[in-house]
């Protein structure tokens, strides 16, 4: 089999479960060595590391709070030191906090921005110090960055829109170094955060052109492509993987 990422090292933040775990698996399937971060799912992170190692790649998990910029900075440094280099950064860690604008829990919303925006920025800034030509930075955004289909998600939408805006700016910043920067914007994906049998699942399913929820591995496949040499001329892009939700 042609494994396109042999010799590459990837860091997937929030990689212990959900979309992050699917991304880690997809990168490992293509031959990349993979580091994942976690904040509370130590057992799941250890189990995933063993699974990735069984695929024949090197894998490791580090504990890091994505809402703490200092911890994120140290995370990137640890990965680069552990493997000797870093080629692929996938910003997957994120939270989804909702609520009426008049009843916002300020603390929860501040933490949402710290994780969804601040943690992403901290990881990218540190990765920029160790990545070289051919580097790949891929963030997991949301279709909510461009569309807010129901009330109560203004803060979440704003956090993901910020990541999309950062992506466009970073593409310009990193272009001369040969590093691409893109954001993948999922629609409804069947995860613990948004299960296909959840209270609002039927509404979301009906909103897609395909009439179904997406699978985490479908996001993983998109990220793996963006990490490959085949995507070398794609940068600054926001790529919807949403079953046509925003069509």
Concatenating the DSSP letter of every residue in 30-78 gives TT-EEEEEESS-HHHHHHHHHHHHHTTS-EEEEE--TT-HHHHHHHHHH
Sign of CA pseudo-dihedral 51, 53, 54, 56: positive
Count of beta carbons in the 10 Å neighbourhood of residue 34: 31
List 38, 156, 166, 245, catalytic entry:
156
Tokens in use for 10? 């990837």
If we measure between CA atoms, which residue out of 237, 235, 236, 244 comes closest to residue 147? 244
Count of beta carbons in the 10 Å neighbourhood of residue 102: 5
**Catalytic site residue 156?**
yes
For 9, phi then psi, to 5°, come to -115, 130
Beta bridge partners of 185: 240
CA 68 to chain centre: 17
Distance, in Å, from the CA atom of 25 to the CA atom of 32, rounded to the nearest integer, reads: 10
- The string over 68-94, giving b where at least 16 C-beta atoms fall within 10 Å of a residue's C-beta and e elsewhere, is bbebbbebbebbbeebeebbbbbbbbb
If we measure between CA atoms, which residue out of 215, 203, 202 comes closest to residue 241? 215
Catalytically active residues are 156
């Amino acid at each position: 089999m042609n494994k396109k990422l042999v010799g590459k090292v990837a860091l997937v933040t929030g990689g212990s479960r959900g979309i992050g775990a699917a991304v880690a698996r997809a990168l490992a399937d293509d031959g990349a060595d993979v580091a994942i971060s976690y904040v509370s799912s130590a057992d799941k992170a250890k189990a995933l590391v063993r699974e990735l190692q069984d695929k024949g790649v090197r894998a490791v998990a580090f504990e890091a709070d994505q809402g703490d910029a200092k911890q994120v900075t140290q995370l990137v440094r640890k990965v680069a030191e552990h493997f000797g280099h870093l080629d692929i950064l996938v910003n997957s860690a994120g939270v989804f906090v909702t609520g009426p604008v008049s009843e916002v829990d300020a603390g929860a919303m501040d933490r949402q921005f710290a994780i969804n925006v601040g943690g992403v920025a901290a990881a990218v800034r540190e990765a920029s110090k160790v990545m070289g030509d051919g580097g790949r930075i891929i963030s997991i955004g949301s279709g909510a960055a461009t569309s807010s289909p129901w009330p109560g998600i203004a803060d979440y939408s704003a956090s993901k829109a910020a990541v999309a805006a950062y992506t466009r700016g970073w593409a310009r910043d990193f272009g001369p170094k040969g590093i691409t920067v893109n954001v993948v914007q999922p629609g409804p994906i069947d995860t613990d955060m948004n299960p296909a049998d959840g209270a609002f699942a039927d509404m979301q399913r009906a909103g897609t052109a395909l009439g179904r929820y997406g699978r985490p591995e479908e996001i993983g496949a998109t990220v793996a492509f963006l990490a490959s040499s085949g995507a070398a001329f794609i940068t600054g892009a926001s790529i919807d993987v949403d079953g046509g939700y925003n069509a």
